[in-house]
């Protein structure tokens, strides 16, 4: 287990209550109590309902596969790494309940994992985490003497997925902060922060770390229509951490860049193909184009769990189409509401990973990352 998660409990039954981990020898970011996800004493998954932020901080508990799928689909839990962590924890919690009722078997788990993997299509971290749970389940069903032992193995793996993500966030924070000059103003899109991960974020981890290093950075957070993750979530968590943040509407990005008010752009990712094409929140591609036109470096930050080497390019990344109800359009108008877009590798200056920064040509640098 990552030592940072030990402070308030883990697989043994507690919840991790700080988003900025507490372990002083490896983590010294200021303490914050965002209480994003954890285990409840009853064994359920307890999470902060992100649809209600920033106005209300409401926690919900889910025990069943259906409830966790609903939470993922509705974006109560969201962000590529946190979707994977939530799915793994949801499978573990539901399996424990199933074992208590005497019904945890291979058929039940296969069906549950299959449905969980389809909760949302774009972030590959979901399938990645479910596959890890499948692997552990297969081993445990083969080895274990009783259903409770299978459930324990699943919970340990879910906790490992979470702990490893916290560790990867820390590493991306260090690698990403090195790209941020003293006094820089950094634009970020959507939410790739603590609210999207099991630790301090991906892109936003670089911002927290640079802030903590005393670089005196400022952050510009785009609103991120239609669900406003930038204005509601990124601005919320950065403000809580004391990082100076200014929200802009999405359509202000070009003029802000033209005024030379931005030194670099950094975003997260939901899936990265073998050639370095990046799927991320809708609007990311437009920001990358704008950054390139204005000679501003455009960076992406993502852990290795976000890479999908089975896809040669971004052309085949599945793009989630969300409900028309999310778009404020006149009745009678047709609505097209893609939740993600694909930024071509050619306009990405570098990708920050938990194993350091990879640069073009991405085909080779990404292959080396996984060697
Ligand atoms: O639809 P969401 O809110 O889940 O989209 C989230 C994003 O696009 C994030 O930028 C991405 O998952 C990176 S998270 C570290």
Provide the β-strand partners of residue 298.
265
* Gyration radius of the chain's alpha carbons: 20
- Report the alpha-carbon distance of residue 127 to residue 90 in Å, rounded: 14
Give me ligand 1 centre to Cα 280, in Å: 7
Determine contact, residues 254/261, Cβ cutoff 8 Å: no
Please tell me the predicted confidence (pLDDT) of residue 29: 56
> Rounded mean pLDDT of the chain?
93
Q: Ligand 1 pocket test: which of 80, 193, 318 has the largest number of ligand atoms within 8 Å of its C-beta? A: 80
Q: Edge-to-edge strand order for the sheet containing 37-39? A: 37-39, 45-48, 59-62
CB 308 within 8 A of CB 272: yes
Q: Give the pLDDT confidence score for residue 32 in this predicted structure.
A: 62
Instruction: Take atom 6 of ligand 1 and give the residue whose Cα is closest.
Output: 79
Strands (E), 151-274: 185-188, 218-222, 245-248, 264-267, 271-273
**What dihedral do alpha carbons 130, 132, 133, 137 form, nearest 10°?**
140
Query: Which residues, judged by CB distance below 6 Å to any ligand atom, belong to the binding site of ligand 1?
Result: 75, 78-81, 123, 190, 192, 196-197, 202, 229, 267-270, 280-281, 339
Nearest-CA residue for atom 5 of ligand 1 = 79
Closest of 65, 158, 161 to residue 118, by C-alpha: 65
H or E element that contains 338: none
Residue of 78, 129, 198, 283 best suited for mutating to test ligand 1, as the one with most atoms within 8 Å of CB: 78
> How many residues does the structure list for the chain?
371
Distance (angstroms) between ligand 1 centre and the Cα of 79 equals 4
Helices (H), 178-270: 203-212, 229, 235-240, 253-258
For the purposes of burial, counting CB atoms within 10 Å of the CB of 227, is it exposed (0-12), middle (13-18) or buried (19 or more)? buried
pLDDT tens-digit profile of 168-224?
A: 999 999 999 999 999 999 999 999 999 999 999 999 999 999 999 999 999 999 999
Whether the pLDDT of residue 88 is over 90: the answer is yes
| Ligand 1 atom index nearest CA of 203 | 15
User: Atom 13 of ligand 1 has which residue's CA nearest to it?
Assistant: 268
348 closest CA partner among 357, 338, 335: 357
Ligand 1 pocket, mutate which of 78, 79, 173 (most atoms under 8 A from CB): 79
The confidence score (pLDDT) of residue 26 equals 37
pLDDT number for residue 145: 82
- State which ligand 1 atom lies nearest to the alpha carbon of 267: 10
Within 10 angstroms of residue 132's Cβ, the number of other Cβ atoms is 18
Distance separating alpha carbons of residues 130 and 136, to the nearest angstrom: 10
Residue of minimum CA distance from atom 2 in ligand 1: 79
Measured CA to CA, the distance from residue 61 to residue 167 in angstroms comes to: 25
Q: What is the pLDDT of residues 40-80, one digit of tens each?
A: 999 999 999 999 999 999 999 999 999 999 999 999 999 99
What are the tens digits of pLDDT across the range 127-176? 999 999 999 999 999 997 899 999 999 999 999 999 999 999 999 999 99
3 state SS of 202: coil
163 noted as active-site residue: no
pLDDT band at 10 (very low <50, low <70, confident <90, very high): very low
Both tokens of 308, joined, read 């999908």
CA distance linking residue 352 with residue 362, whole number of Å: 12
Cα 199 to ligand 1 centroid, rounded to whole Å = 14
């Amino acid at each position: 287990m990552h030592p940072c998660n030990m402070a308030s409990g883990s697989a043994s039954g507690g919840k991790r209550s700080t988003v900025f981990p507490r372990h002083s020898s490896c983590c010294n970011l200021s303490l914050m109590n965002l209480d994003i996800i954890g285990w409840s004493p009853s064994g359920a998954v307890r999470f902060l309902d992100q649809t209600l932020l920033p106005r209300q901080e409401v926690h919900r508990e889910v025990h069943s596969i259906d409830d966790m799928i609903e939470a993922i689909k509705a974006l109560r839990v969201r962000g590529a790494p946190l979707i994977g962590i939530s799915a793994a924890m949801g499978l573990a919690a539901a399996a424990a309940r199933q074992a208590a009722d005497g019904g945890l078997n291979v058929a039940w788990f296969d069906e549950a994992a299959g449905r969980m993997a389809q909760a949302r299509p774009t972030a590959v971290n979901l399938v990645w985490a479910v596959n890890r749970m499948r692997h552990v389940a297969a081993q445990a069903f083969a080895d274990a003497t009783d259903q409770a032992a299978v459930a324990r193995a699943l919970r340990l793996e879910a906790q490992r997925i979470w702990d490893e993500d916290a560790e990867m966030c820390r590493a991306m924070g260090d690698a990403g902060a090195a790209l941020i000059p003293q006094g820089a103003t950094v634009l970020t899109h959507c939410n790739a922060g603590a609210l999207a991960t099991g630790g301090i974020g991906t892109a936003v981890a670089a911002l927290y770390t640079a802030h903590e290093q005393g670089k005196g950075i400022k952050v510009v957070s785009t609103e991120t229509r239609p669900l406003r993750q930038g204005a509601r979530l990124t601005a919320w968590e950065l403000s809580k951490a004391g990082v100076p943040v200014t929200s802009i509407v999405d359509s202000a990005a070009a003029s802000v860049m033209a005024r030379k008010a931005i030194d670099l752009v950094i975003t997260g990712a939901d899936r990265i193909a073998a050639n370095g094409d990046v799927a991320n929140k809708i609007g990311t591609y437009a920001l990358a184009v704008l950054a390139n036109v204005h000679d501003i470096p455009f960076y992406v930050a993502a852990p290795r769990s976000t890479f999908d080497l089975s896809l040669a390019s971004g052309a085949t990344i599945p793009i989630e189409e969300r409900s028309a109800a999310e778009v404020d359009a006149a009745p009678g108008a047709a609505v097209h509401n893609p939740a993600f877009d694909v930024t071509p590798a050619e306009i990405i200056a570098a990708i920050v990973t938990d194993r350091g920064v990879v640069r073009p040509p991405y085909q080779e640098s990404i292959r080396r990352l996984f060697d």
